[in-house]
Amino acid sequence: QVQLVESGGGSVQAGGSLRLSCAASGYTYDNYCMGWFRQAPGKEREGVAVLYTGSTYTSTAGSVKGRFTISRDNAENTLYLQMNSLKPEDTAMYYCAAVERSGGFCSSGLVWNQYLYWGQGTQVTVSS
C-alpha cells in the first residue's frame, strides 16, 4: 500500500519561500508519477507539478512555472516542492499524490483525478 505524508507547509508573506516534503513508502520507486496538487477554498483541485520517478520527466503548471520546482531524493524516497516568490493566490491545501505508470512519462499529466494515492495535505498560507 502506497503511503504519502506531506510536511513543510506554513504561513509566509508574499515574496517568501517554503519547501514542501512528501515522504513516500510502500512501493517500487521507479515507475510512478508523483506530484503536487493544491486546492483553495471553493475552488477545484489543480495540478501544480509532477514528475516520473524513473526518468527526468517533469511537468509544471503555467501559473507556478519559474517560481516552483519539483524534485525528488530517491535515497530518501522523498518528493519536494520548492516554492519561491510566493503570492497570496498560492494559498491552498497542498497534496502529494502518486499513480503507477509505465513509459517514462506521466500520461496522467496534471489531472488530479488520474492519481490514485494521496497524502493528507499540508496548508500553505501566503499573506500580502
- pLDDT value of position 28: 65
Gyration radius (Cα) of the chain, Å = 14
- pLDDT value of position 30: 81
CA-closest candidate to residue 43, choices 1, 89, 78, 10: 89
Question: What residue type is assigned to position 77 of the chain?
Answer: N
User: Mind listing the pLDDT tens digit for each residue in 27-67?
Assistant: 766 889 999 999 999 999 999 999 998 889 999 999 999 99
User: Which letter does DSSP use for residue 114 in this model?
Assistant: G
Residue 74 near residue 52, CB atoms below 8 Å: no
The region of weakest confidence among 22-31, 38-47, 89-98 is 22-31
